[in-house]
Copies of this chain bind each other. A is one copy, B any other.
């Protein structure tokens, strides 16, 4: 999960994910969207995303078609949502513990 989080922390990789979110795209097309870096750099970014399981690869003849792994991204989103709500959960747990204590005192 940490790998995925670190992967999306990079703006280029987020942009790549955007490109292959709703449709698959060959590596060259992906690379040609970035005019400030080499195709090799993008290929390495694709490697990072693949290693984080955030994209899937399909080979078609000469090409490699990429698409976002939406399930993994959903998992990542859920992880973060749980993290955001963690503070509230913590408050809730503390409140319940206090309540329990109170009841024990009174029982």
Give the Cβ gap from A84 to chain B, nearest Cβ, in Å: 5
Kindly state whether residue A44 has any CB partner on chain B within 8 Å. Answer: no
Give the Cβ gap from A13 to chain B, nearest Cβ, in Å: 11
By a CB distance below 8 angstroms, the chain B residues around A68 are 87
For chain A, what secondary structure do more than half of its interface residues adopt (helix, strand, loop), or is it mixed? helix
Give residues of chain A (67-107) contacting chain B, Cβ–Cβ below 8 Å.
68, 70, 73, 77, 80, 83-84, 86-87, 90-91, 94
Stoichiometry, copies per complex? 2
Kindly state whether residue A55 has any CB partner on chain B within 8 Å. Answer: no
By a CB distance below 8 angstroms, the chain B residues around A83 are 14
Give the Cβ gap from A4 to chain B, nearest Cβ, in Å: 9
By a CB distance below 8 angstroms, the chain B residues around A61 are none
A6 in complex: contacting residue of B9, B87, B90, CB < 8 Å = B9
